[in-house]
Amino acid sequence: MAKFRLYLEENNRSPLAQLWREFARQHSALFGLVLFSSFLLLSLLAPLITPHDPYLQNDSLLLLPPSWSEQGLVQYPFGTDDLGRDLLSRMLKGSTYTFGLALLTVLASLLAGLALGALAGMSRGVKSSFFNHLLDLILTIPSLLLAIIIVAILGPGLENTAWAVILALLPQFVHGIRNAIAEQLKQDYVTAYRLDGANNWQVLTRLIIPNIWEKITVMSSMALSTAILDIAALGFLGLGAQAPTAEWGAMISDSLDIIYVAPVSVAVPGLLIFAAVLSVNLLGDGLKVAIQKRRES
């Protein structure tokens, strides 16, 4: 005789388990997760796995073709550039600058945006109105244009590029977190918690932030793809990483003059940028769909 179960295990999983179940049902999201994890490992382990010194010049191996060519060497799978530097080692090293630096800038911008967004969302009156109008004005400027303006003020370089991307992404985080907090403040359980004697800090830390972390995660994934493109674009324009730094955007810019002689030196960094942005977008879309389905269930 079948037993009657009032509480089904399938319907009483933890929120994270339910989120992973919905996420794992999407093949594109899983592919994005694997690709994202691969780039993350490359950015962390790049100094240890590069087969050659990415900055070592060799006059006897100038513009060496890839290994699948008849003139290529197995020791240099993607060949060398016009200074005899190993392209594979430079591309692996570039993952640290383009992908790894993008992660750090998004994390820094998220922490600052969380603090400022909480201040904007919990405040009222003239201060809140002025802050909101200022944010709306800044958000009309594209992030890349804002980053270019900041780099033009600070000067070119990889460190200034990081600061420029952080400041360019900050208004998006502040605006999104402010709206999420304002939406939560309208809920009945917040009013009930205030009637129990809770202050603003307790409401923010114990109720609001635990209920908006999913939106913050999706917001961060979208900002990461923007950060990757901004860092690569600034490097391509000569405003970001400077020679001989092995950053993907700067590598494309340095190899444009030899694109007909060594097309791999331009094609592979471009494909890496595309794959990195694709992985982040697939991961972000998968998280967004999984969050929506978990709430519906």
pLDDT digits (tens, 9 = 90+) for 18-64: 888 888 899 999 999 999 999 999 999 998 999 999 999 988 888 88
pLDDT digits (tens, 9 = 90+) for 96-127: 999 999 999 999 999 999 988 888 888 776 66
Total-model pTM: 0.89
Of the pLDDT bands very low, low, confident and very high (cuts 50, 70, 90), residue 196 is confident
State the pLDDT at residue 213. Answer: 87
Give the integer Cα–Cα distance in Å for 36 and 28: 12
**Amino acid (one-letter) located at 260:** Y
pLDDT digits (tens, 9 = 90+) for 133-168: 777 777 778 888 889 999 989 889 899 999 999 999
Q: Residue 235: which residues within 8 A CB-CB, separation 6 or more?
A: 98, 161, 241, 247, 248, 249, 250, 251, 253
Percent of all residues in the chain with a pLDDT value above 90, rounded to a whole number: 42
Give the integer Cα–Cα distance in Å for 196 and 208: 16
- Give the CATH number of domain 25-46+79-296; options: 3.90.180.10, 1.10.3720.10, 1.20.200.10, 3.20.20.10: 1.10.3720.10
Cβ-contact 290, 19 below 8 angstroms: yes
- Distance between the two ends of the chain, CA-based, in angstroms? 29
**Amino acid (one-letter) located at 47:** P
